[in-house]
A and B are shown apart, each in its own frame.
Chain A
Amino acid sequence: MEAPLLHLALVGTPNSGKTSLFNALTGSRQKVANYPGVTVERKEGFFVTPLGRQVSVVDLPGTYSLRGRSPDEEITRDIVLGKASGETRPDLVLCVADSTNLRLTIRLLLELKRTGRPIVLVLNMFDIATRRGITVDVTQMADALGVPVVTSIAVRKGGTADLLKLTDEISAGVAPQPQENNWRPLSVAELRATQREADRIIASTVSLPSRPDTWTARIDAVVLHPVGGLIVLALILFVMFQAVFAWAQPLMELLSSSFDALGQFVHDTLPAGLLQSFLQNGVISGVGSVIVFLPQIIIIFLFILLLEDFGYMARAAFLMDRIMGGAGLHGRAFIPLLSSFACAIPGIMATRVIDNRRDRLTTILIAPLMTCSARIPVYTLIISAFIPPKQVWGFINLQGLVMFGLYAAGIISALLVSFLIKFFMLRDYAPAPFMLELPDYKMPRPKSIAIGIFTRAKMFLQRAGTTIFSMMVLIWFLASFPQPPAGAADPAINYSLAAILGKAIAPLLAPVGFNWQIAVALIPGMAAREVAVAALGTVYAIEGGKEAAEQIGQVLATKWSLATALSLLAWYIFAPQCASTLAVIRRETGSWKWMATTFAYMLALAYAASLVVYNVAVALGAG
């Protein structure tokens, strides 16, 4: 009979190398999800020990204690104590320590011991410690702590052999049996006492280096310099942006044209009709519009994971903390918000670097206000059709100025919304003060990075893909049914549910200056913002889709007033016109409530902004 699955849990302080140990143990056999109802990532992986025992291991959120001061840390505490519903109590807790920095982990371990769970201390990154001249008397430390101690080098092949061997011994029943749980939240005096105890054990078992890590000090002298550090940060961001826009572009175009070609192939192969339209416009363009984001997501995560592994992320947060703090944002929100200029989807996914739930939620809610690249086609269409390319003050192009204004409006409104959220909505949540370990720099390991990117890409395709895909099919359905009567003169979409809906909501949009054609185009535009351009073309019966943008512009210039055009620009700054983003918000927050909140507040802002812009423009004679 096969032995039951052995459950391990990895516990450790942030930066202890927990995740690289997790990657080393499980390789790509990982499942990443959220714990039910909370914005906390649940990472579980599987491996088989040398003696053939099946093992499941969870990578618990990093923590300095079991007090549970945030939802992430509560998860760690509840799982270790076996109080988390739907989670198996771990058979063995692996307390992971960065061997170069034992103080905080040994204190955590002393606290963990009180839970009575079988515990092993894993001295990770032992190679780095050895290289720095740190020596640890492992046997004596195990005696002093009263738990088994193993060393590991997660990033080296075979570096976890001792740990695997010990796991086998424990699963064979040689090792510690569970004791009674004596844990309760520690008082300040007990915390002090455990830290003293930890320092005493370290003093008797570890000889600290004669040489401190001079590399970290040298890099920090530049990277954390008040002025120089910001310049370095700007340079890194510049390269990152270049990569996201420039490197991803050819791949995105390739993907996009492959899907177009596939759609065309289906179009040519199948007889005209519902099936042809469903496959080409529903399935293929629906799936295509999701997959086309994959290169950007991979590149953004490549940068984020590299910077995180290197140890730079905490420094970026340090540099930006006070600058972002004025708007109620955490320093760590900086990179996700920046990524959102490319696309809100990877931006929202990148909020996982923010460990405080409140800060993360605020960042997720405002990320879609950053002007993403999908708005650019809409902006360029309207600007080139309605804004004359004249020079103002002799050297500024008016069209460029309007474009800049649209970006600025997005950023300013994001900061205002964040401020309001901080003030009104999440007041009951204890704010996270900025207290952060700045870990020593470490060379990022390609394997760990590759696993990280692979997991993210898979997650994006699997889960966002299914939700986005079903919304695409819904939108196709709305734009295709009912079918136009035989011999109909107008474009097919004008007979569809989308047109019926569009005409029904047109009176609501009349105060902001939108005609029914715009209302109809906004519905397929829900799939992705740039689709609205093609949809306007369809509604105004112009063949040729996106390529005909210039031609669409000429038509629009004759049909719309300037006030309507400006109103539509204002609408697009705010409107929640992207089913994919909403689907990702739903997934990352684990709640329909926050998706609905985002949709509602952005819609309200869009309507208000358009209303003001339209009426001011009409009053100024642009109607």
Chain B
Amino acid sequence: MTDDKTTLPQTSADTPSGSPLGLAERGYSGVIQHLSAGGAGSALSDVELESRLIELGFVEGAKVEILHEGIVGRDPIAVRVDNVTIAVRRREAMAIIVA
């Protein structure tokens, strides 16, 4: 399935550091650096994906932790964002750059 292709988002000059949450393992915890919908390869448009992520609380500075993952391709993942748990697919989580 195409979902398994997890290409790294293009890191351009304005994206200083960090790696996508979509590649992180279960148990990872970190802080959101920025959102970069461009390289995520989601079916949603960049603006739409970024908007939805913000609406679910994925904003810069939020603490995230991967609590659980699914059985097929370790996907989707359950992410603790501050005090809420959100399930997302790894593909969409590629847009969340953490460190």
Contacts and interface: CB of A to CB of B under 8 A. Distances in A.
A69 B43 CA distance: 14
A64 B48 CA distance: 13
A321 B76 contact: yes
A431 B52 CA distance: 13
Contacts of B50: 188
A318 B72 contact: no
Contacts of B55: 64-65, 104, 107, 191
A220 B71 CA distance: 15
B78 A188 contact: no
Contact of A433 (B59, B84, B89): B89
A318 B70 contact: yes
A101 B92 CA distance: 23
B12 interface: no
B85 interface: yes
Contacts of A319: 70-71
A192 B59 contact: yes
Given A220-B68, A230-B71, A433-B89, A67 B51 contact: yes
A322 interface: yes
A214 B55 CA distance: 25
Interface in A430-450: 430-431, 433-440
A64 B49 CA distance: 14
B35 to A, nearest CB: 8
Main secondary structure of the interface of B (DSSP, over half): mixed
A505 interface: no
Interface string B45-75: 0011111111111011000000111111111
A273 B47 CA distance: 70
B25 interface: no
B24 interface: no
A209 B68 CA distance: 23
Interface in A38-74: 64-65, 67, 69
Contacts of B8: none
Contacts of B56: 64, 104, 435, 437
A314 interface: yes
A430 B42 CA distance: 11
Interface in A319-360: 319, 321-323, 325-326
A195 B59 contact: yes
A104 B59 CA distance: 11
B80 to A, nearest CB: 9
A191 B83 contact: no
A224 B92 contact: no
B67 A220 contact: yes
A498 to B, nearest CB: 49
Interface size range of chain B in the complex: 35 or more
Nearest to A202: B82
A433 B22 CA distance: 14
Contact of B73 (A69, A104, A322): A322
B84 A103 contact: yes
A318 B57 contact: no
Which of A226, A431, A433, A439 has the largest count of B CB atoms less than 10 A from its CB?
A433
Interface in A95-134: 100-101, 103-104, 107
Contacts of B92: 433-435
A435 B75 contact: no
Given A64-B55, A188-B51, A101 B84 contact: yes
A545 interface: no
Contacts of B57: 103-104, 195
Contacts of B78: 220, 224, 318, 438
11 contacts: A101-B84, A224-B68, A314-B87, A318-B70, A319-B71, A430-B43, A433-B49, A434-B89, A435-B86, A437-B56, A437-B84
Given A64-B56, A226-B70, A436-B87, 6 more contacts: A220-B67, A318-B78, A321-B70, A430-B44, A431-B43, A440-B85
Interface of B: 1, 3, 42-44, 47-57, 59-60, 67-76, 78, 82-89, 91-92
| Nearest 7 Cβ contacts at the A-B interface | A322-B72, A64-B55, A224-B68, A226-B71, A438-B85, A436-B87, A191-B54
Interface of A: 64-65, 67, 69, 100-101, 103-104, 107, 186, 188, 191-192, 195-196, 199, 208-209, 212, 216-217, 220, 224-227, 230, 314, 317-319, 321-323, 325-326, 430-431, 433-440
